Amino acid sequence: NAGVTQTPKFQVLKTGQSMTLQCAQDMNHEYMSWYRQDPGMGLRLIHYSVGAGITDQGEVPNGYNVSRSTTEDFPLRLLSAAPSQTSVYFCASSLGQGSFGNTIYFGEGSWLTVV
């Protein structure tokens, strides 16, 4: 059981380039989300999905797109990278949220530097 798998682990981008961070989970979780973690600001939610075909915005969605065509995969796309998007990105999944809340599983993180 691999859990939550993120790729790549490290990436350097030039300003204006686009890229996709991949996230896959093998636990049949409905709820998936993407966070960025910056020093002094904690974890901030970028986008989330409550099931295949359903996505919604979090706190800091600008500059990012997501899609959820399958239960397993939840890729995060940077449309035109900016230095402000230099951060560590985490994908997370859980069986449910809210009143059905369950343990949340995180990927190992993707370190992104935009120059």
Partner 1 sequence: KQEVTQIPAALSVPEGENLVLNCSFTDSAIYNLQWFRQDPGKGLTSLLLIQSSQREQTSGRLNASLDKSSGRSTLYIAASQPGDSATYLCAVDNAGNNRKLIWGLGTSLAVNP
User: Could you tell me the smallest distance in angstroms from the CB atom of residue 65 to partner 1?
Assistant: 19
In 3D space, the residue among 17, 3, 2, 11 whose CA is nearest the CA of residue 79 turns out to be 17
Q: In what order do the strands lie in the sheet with 4-7?
A: 4-7, 19-25, 76-78, 64-66
Question: Residues 87-106 vs partner 1: string with x where CB under 8 A?
Answer: ---x-x----xxx-xxxxxx
User: Could you tell me the smallest distance in angstroms from the CB atom of residue 110 to partner 1?
Assistant: 10
> How many degrees, rounded to 5, is the angle at CA 61 between CA 102 and CA 33?
20
Applying CB under 8 A, does 52 fall inside the site for partner 1? no
User: Could you tell me the smallest distance in angstroms from the CB atom of residue 80 to partner 1?
Assistant: 26
Cis peptide before 8 (omega within 30 of 0): yes
Applying CB under 8 A, does 34 fall inside the site for partner 1? no
Applying CB under 8 A, does 82 fall inside the site for partner 1? no
Kindly tell me which residue out of 109, 112, 113, 115 binds partner 1, with binding defined by CB under 8 A: 109
